């Protein structure tokens, strides 16, 4: 019988009957005889590199995905490599069930080292209610990631007291304006039309770039611009949070005649 702590986590301290077994494991197990720093590296390798998507579904409000082409720790690589996922079986947490000492050393590790894509505050509530995720586990989350236009994800950061780093994904040279990706023409090559600014947007149906003018203020005041997104994250999660923007090549219409979309 294993007791629970007030926060709902299991109490790994062995009782009278389990004390002899725990002591024997500590001295005979090849893994537990290793120095703590080496064990921690092993545990991080075994439990890390995951991208956990928390959605608003009720019965199963999360998906665990493992990076196929690049570990999450290698986010400086091209973003399109980091976005190729393969579903990962949830039994990877079986390591926590091996013995009390391993549980004590790893119980919160999957939450503190992996990247969480929490789509909204409602998604977080469903995750806790329907999947029995404990407050201690939520409070251990340190890293989040989402697309630049996901305003609801920014609001969810207010419920994560341990958040330290937020990765924001976007396409290089693109802005998310009026629910679509557009390319803002460089200032030196912009044909101004009063208060208008020239942009190009990719037409998915015609498979071509369309050039048009929009109010310049729409670009400057765009809530999904890098400056405004970073400001909102700092306001919600605290000014000590590190915000990292990840840029990948826009996957559509990269070549238009002799033109290349940046």
Classify residue 247: in a domain, yes or no.
yes
Classify residue 7: in a domain, yes or no.
no
Range name among 56-60, 98-102, 151-155, 160-164 with the lowest pLDDT average? 56-60
Classify residue 136: in a domain, yes or no.
yes
Domain that holds residue 116: 16-171+228-260
What pLDDT is recorded for position 122? 83
pLDDT class of 96 with cuts at 50, 70, 90: confident
What pLDDT is recorded for position 38? 94
Cα 226 to Cα 199: distance, rounded to the nearest angstrom: 17
Question: What angle is formed at CA 130 by the lines to CA 3 and CA 159, rounded to 5 degrees?
Answer: 85
The total number of structural domains in the chain stands at 1
pLDDT class of 162 with cuts at 50, 70, 90: very high
pLDDT digits 0-9 by tens, 138-148:
899 999 988 88
Cα 50 to Cα 92: distance, rounded to the nearest angstrom: 10
Strands 242-248 and 165-171: parallel
Classify residue 183: in a domain, yes or no.
no
């Amino acid at each position: 019988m294993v007791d629970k702590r007030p926060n709902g986590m299991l109490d790994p301290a062995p009782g009278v009957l389990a004390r002899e077994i725990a002591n024997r494991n500590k001295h005979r197990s090849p893994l537990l005889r290793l120095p703590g720093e080496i064990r921690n590296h092993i545990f991080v390798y075994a439990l890390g590199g995951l991208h956990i998507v928390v959605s608003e579904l009720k019965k199963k409000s999360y998906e665990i995905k493992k990076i196929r082409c690049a570990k999450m720790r290698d986010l400086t690589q091209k973003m399109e490599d980091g976005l190729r996922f393969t579903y990962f079986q949830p039994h990877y947490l079986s390591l926590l069930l091996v013995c009390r000492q391993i549980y004590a050393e790893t119980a919160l590790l999957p939450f503190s080292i992996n990247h969480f894509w929490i789509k909204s505050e409602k998604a977080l509530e469903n995750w806790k209610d329907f999947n029995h995720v404990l407050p201690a586990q939520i409070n251990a989350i340190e890293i989040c990631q989402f697309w630049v236009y996901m305003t609801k994800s920014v609001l969810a950061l207010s419920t994560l007291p341990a958040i330290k780093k937020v990765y924001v994904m976007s396409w290089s040279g693109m802005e998310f304006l009026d629910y679509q990706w557009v390319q803002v023409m460089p200032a030196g090559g912009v044909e101004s039309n009063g208060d208008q600014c020239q942009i190009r947007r990719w037409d998915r149906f015609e498979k071509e770039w369309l050039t048009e003018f929009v109010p310049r203020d729409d670009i400057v005041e765009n809530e999904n611009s890098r400056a405004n997104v970073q400001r909102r994250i700092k306001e919600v999660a605290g000014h000590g949070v590190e915000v990292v923007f990840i840029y990948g090549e826009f996957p559509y219409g990269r070549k238009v005649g002799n033109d290349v979309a940046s």
